[in-house]
Amino acid sequence: MIYFVTSNKGKFVEAEAIFGDLVQKNIGYTEIQADTLEEVASFGMNEVVSRLQGPVMLEDAGLFIDALKGFPGVYSAYGQKTIGNQGILKLMEGVQDRKAHFRSVVSYAEPGMEPVMFAGEVHGRIGHEARGTKGFGYDPIFCVGKMSLGEMEIVEKNKISHRAASMKALKNWLDKR
């Protein structure tokens, strides 16, 4: 059993499909404003690991759009809350280069253990409209092949996603220990 500290149900169900024995802990932690997802995850982990008696993981993710020089990136939560998917589509109006990637960093620790981190990415492009009602956040505007992540079932998203990649790397590491 692992505690997954997140308030995001969407993240939790994706992680649960990979790990099985997960418990969601919606206990909140400080998400610092930093230049990298690693810094955000590492600061958060230091805060929660002493509060939970057991194996704990947390994850920080972001959407990086090439034509916007990586924006929203580490500001993805703020971008989603403020301008949202429609705002991103507006910024991308008339933009030819629609390449973007999601990046995920997962941090894992047990009491008394130095945290470990694993990263994952998925490359795709920003669509011209929001499509699909599955998933969460930027999923409807991020396309891989012909489909947006918002049109994919969790099993399909988990074959390609940034989160699936970082979490499968963690799972591998745990299984090999």
By annotation, the residues acting in catalysis are 60
Q: Name the residue with tokens 């507006």.
A: 90
Question: Are the C-beta atoms of residues 147 and 3 closer than 8 Å to each other?
Answer: no
Of the listed pieces 60-68, 89-97, 124-132, 164-172, which binds ligand IMP according to CB under 6 A?
60-68
Among 61, 109, 117, 152, binds ligand IMP (CB under 6 A): 61
- Give the phi and the psi of residue 64 in degrees, each rounded to 5: -115, 115
* Residue nearest ligand IMP, Cβ-based: 137
Looking at beta carbons only, is 49 or 106 nearer to ligand IMP?
106
Residue 157's alpha-carbon distances to 30, 120, 127, 175, in angstroms, are 28, 13, 16, 23
Q: What is the identity of the amino acid at 173?
A: W
In angstroms, rounded to a whole number, what is the distance separating the alpha carbons of residues 115 and 106? Answer: 10
29 sits near ligand IMP (criterion: CB under 6 A)? no
> Which residues partner with 22 through β-bridges?
2
70/40 Cα distance (integer angstroms): 17
To ligand IMP, the closest distance from the beta carbon of 70 in angstroms equals: 14
Asked if 80 touches ligand IMP (CB under 6 A), the answer is yes
Question: CB of 53: closest distance to ligand IMP in angstroms?
Answer: 24
| Contact status: 64 vs ligand IMP (CB under 6 A) | no
Q: How far is the CB of 122 from ligand IMP (least distance, A)?
A: 8
Alpha carbon 109 to chain centroid, angstroms: 18
Site for ligand IMP in 85-144 (CB under 6 A): 102, 135-139
Interface with ligand IMP (CB under 6 A), residue from 34, 77, 89, 147: 77
From the CB of 15, what's the least distance to ligand IMP, in Å?
A: 11
Which one of residues 45, 49, 60, 170 is an interface residue with ligand IMP (CB under 6 A)? 60
Q: Which residue has the tokens 């049109």?
A: 151
Beta strand segments in the chain, E: 2-5, 22-25, 56-65, 99-109, 116-126, 142-144, 147-148
Binding site for ligand IMP (CB under 6 A): 8, 60-63, 76-77, 80, 102, 135-139, 149, 161, 163
